[in-house]
Amino acid sequence: MSDSVSEGLYLLDYGAGNVRSVFNAVEALGHKISLISHPSDFDKAKKIIFPGVGSFGHAIESMKKKNLIQPLLEYIKSNRPLFGICVGMQVLFEGSQESDSPGLAIFPGTVTKFNDSSKPVPHIGWTTPVLVQELPESLSSIKSHLTTDSFYYFVHSYAVPYIENHKNLYTVNTVTKYHDETFISSICSNNIFATQFHPEKSGKSGLNLLDFFIKHFQPINTFPSPKFFSNITSQPSSRVIACMDVRSNDQGDLVVTKGDQYDVRESSQNNQVRNLGKPVELAKRYYLEGADEVTFLNITSFRNIPLNDTPMLDILKEASKSVFVPMTVGGGIRAISNPQTGENWSPVQVADAYFLAGADKISIGSDAVYSAEKFIKNNLTKDGSSSIEQISFVYGSQAVVVSIDPRRVYVDNPSSTKHHAIQTSIKGPNNESYCWFQCTVNGGREGRDIDVVELATSIQILGAGEILLNSIDKDGSNSGFDLELISLVKSSVSIPVIASSGAGNPSHFYDAINIAKADAVLAAGIFHRNEVSISESKQYLASKNINVRPAI
Ligand code: 1PR
C-alpha cells in the first residue's frame, strides 16, 4: 500500500479500550496509522478512525479529561472523514441511557438499552447488516460489503433504535435485527461513516470495510432522496468458540494443554503436562478455520502473579496481529499484591494489561466466586469492591465474562440440601436422582458452599455480561455437554451463556444450542486433536438450520 493512502490516517486513542485491535487490523491491510493522543494531533489528520470499547460515560469522560472533545468537534466540522466504531458511533448521538454524560450531538437521538426480558443481553455475536437506503453513487461499492452474506461481530447492550420513517433516517445506512428489536447498525452522513459492529473483529468482511474507508471513502454532500428497503431479516447466529487452556510445561514453555476432568498430566508419560501445541499457532489456525472467537485460559495463574506472566501477554500481542475475531483471556484477574515488592494492582489495572495486549474480553473465575459469596452475605448489596463491578464500569459488561467451574453433587432428595437441586437423568454413584452444581475455585481444586444458580444470578447483578459454563464432570470426556446444567443456568439468567466441556462431535454442539438453548458453544480437545474441524462443525450446524457465520 502506498504511503500516500495512509498519510494522515489517525486513530483516536482516548485511553479507554482496546485500540490495539484496530491498529493491528489496519496494519495487516498494509496501511500505516498514527495515534491521536493529544489535541494538536487533529490538525495533521486527513482521516480518523474512532474506535470505542467500554461504556458511553467512560468514553465521554476520558475524552473530556484529555481535552479531545472540542478538537474532535472541530475536525468533524471541517468535513474530513471519520469512522466511528461501536461506542465511537454511539457518542455521536445526543445521549445514552447508559450514562448522564451528554453525547456529542452530531446526530439526533438517544442510545437505549435492549430489553432483556425476551432475549439475552448483551447482544454478542455475528450477524448481517441490512441496507435500508439507496446509497449515493460514490458509495455504491460499499454495497458489496453490506450484503446479507457479510457477517459482522456485534457486542453491545445499548443501541440506537430504528424507527421506520423517522425524519432523521436519511443518515441510516443499515439496520440489524436482534430478536424483537431493530437497531441502526451503520450510518453514513456527509463525512461520517459509523458502525455499531466491530469491523476490526469481523474477520475478512470487516477488514474489507476498513480498507474501503481508508482507500475510497470521501465526504458525500448530496444524498439521493430517501428510498427505504424494508426487508429486515437478519438474525443473530450461534457462535463456535475454540478454547486454549495455557500453562507452562515441565520444560518451562507456555503450551496449550488439555485436562481430563481438569487433570492436565499424562499418567502414561511420567506425569508430564499434556502438550497439544503452541498457543499463537493454534489461535491463527482456528481463526482461519472460521472460529467466531478464541479464548485463552491461563490455567495456573492462581499460583503466580499474572502481571509478571509476560509470556501470556506476549501471546496475546502476537495473536492479535493475525487473529481478527474477538479474543477472550482468563486466569488470575483479581486485585493483586506482590509481597516481595509491596506493589499492588487493582483488578482494572490487571485487566488493562490484558486489554492493551489485545484481549477484547476478560474472563474471571475464582474471584467471581468470592465476589458472589460476599454479595450474598451482604444481602445482595453491591458495594463496588468486586473485580466484576470495577472492570464492567470501565469496559462495559460485555467485556466481562465469568468462567464457572461447577461439579455435580448428588443427593437422594432435593430437600436434603439448601442448594438449587434438579432431578437428573444422569444418576449418581449411589443411584441418586437429584444433584446440585457446586462452584469451585483454583482450577476445580476447592469446592465452595455456593451453587451455580446462586453464582450465575449474583454475577449478572454485579455486572458480568456473559457466562462461560464449564463442567468438571464433562471436561475432556467427548461425551457431550451437560445439557441439564446448561438449561438450568440459561433459565436463571438473561446474559448469554457459552456451553463448554464435553464436546465430542458436531451433534453435541447442536444439542447444546437446540435443547439447552446455549448462545454459543466452546470446545478444546476435539479441535486441538484435529478430530473435528471448526468448519465441519459449522457445516453440520447449518445443515440442521442453526444460523451460523459460514466458515471462511
Ligand atoms: O480462577 O480466574 O484464575 O481463572 C482460571 C481459569 O482457568 C478458569 O476459567 C478455569 O476454568 C480455568 N482452569 C483452571 N484449571 C483448569 C484445568 O483444566 N486444570 N481449565 C482450567 C478449565 C475448561 C475449559 C475447557 C473446556 C472444554 N478448562 O476451558 O477448555 O472444558 O474442553 P473439552 O472441549 O476438551 O471438553 P481464575
Measure the CA–CA gap between 122 and 2, rounded to whole angstroms. Answer: 40
Report pLDDT digits (tens) over 7-61. 899 999 887 666 788 999 999 999 999 999 789 999 999 999 999 777 899 899 9
**CA within 13 Å, CB half, 26:** 26
For ligand 1, is residue 498 a contact (CB within 6 Å)? no
Query: Catalytic site residue 198?
Result: yes
Query: Catalytic site residue 27?
Result: no
The amino acid that residue 78 corresponds to is S
Ligand 1 centroid to Cα of residue 444, in Å, is 9
Q: Which residue is catalytic, options 13, 86, 293, 482?
A: 86
For ligand 1, is residue 276 a contact (CB within 6 Å)? no
332: annotated binding-site residue? yes
All cell numbers assigned to 245: 487452556
For ligand 1, is residue 236 a contact (CB within 6 Å)? no
What residues in the chain have per-residue pLDDT under 70?
1-5, 16-18, 147-148, 165-171, 221-234, 302-310, 552
Measure the CA–CA gap between 341 and 7, rounded to whole angstroms. Answer: 45
Q: How far apart are the first and last CA of the chain?
A: 24
Report pLDDT digits (tens) over 294-341. 999 998 876 666 666 667 889 999 999 999 999 999 998 999 887 778
Instruction: Give the strand pairing for 434-441 and 406-411.
Output: antiparallel
Nearest CA to ligand 1 atom 26: 501
Measure the CA–CA gap between 448 and 441, rounded to whole angstroms. Answer: 7
Cβ atoms of 175 and 185 within 8 Å: the answer is yes
Burial of 199 (0-12, 13-18, 19+ CB in 10 A): buried
Q: Which neighbouring-strand residues pair with 182?
A: 177
Q: Which CA distances in Å does 505 have to 46, 288, 509, 540?
A: 51, 20, 7, 10
* Right CATH for 238-259+275-402+464-544 from 3.40.50.11290, 3.20.20.70, 3.30.1700.10, 3.40.190.10: 3.20.20.70
444: annotated binding-site residue? no
All cell numbers assigned to 209: 470495510
Q: Which CA distances in Å does 105 have to 39, 71, 93?
A: 20, 15, 5
CATH architecture under which domain 9-236 falls: 3-Layer(aba) Sandwich (3.40)
For ligand 1, is residue 99 a contact (CB within 6 Å)? no
Nearest CA to ligand 1 atom 12: 299
Q: Which CA distances in Å does 234 have to 176, 260, 548?
A: 6, 39, 12
Query: Catalytic site residue 243?
Result: no
> So where are the chain's domains?
9-236, 238-259+275-402+464-544
Q: Which residue is catalytic, options 245, 309, 475, 484?
A: 245
DSSP state of 498: E
Q: Own/partner pairs for 418-427, CB < 8 Å, 24+ apart?
A: 419/451, 419/453, 419/454, 420/451, 420/452, 420/453, 420/454, 420/488, 422/484, 422/488, 424/484, 425/484, 426/484
Measure the CA–CA gap between 129 and 392, rounded to whole angstroms. Answer: 27
Measure the CA–CA gap between 62 and 112, rounded to whole angstroms. Answer: 21
All cell numbers assigned to 111: 442510545
Query: Catalytic site residue 405?
Result: yes
Predicted confidence at residue 2, as pLDDT, reads: 46
Predicted confidence at residue 161, as pLDDT, reads: 93
Predicted confidence at residue 349, as pLDDT, reads: 92
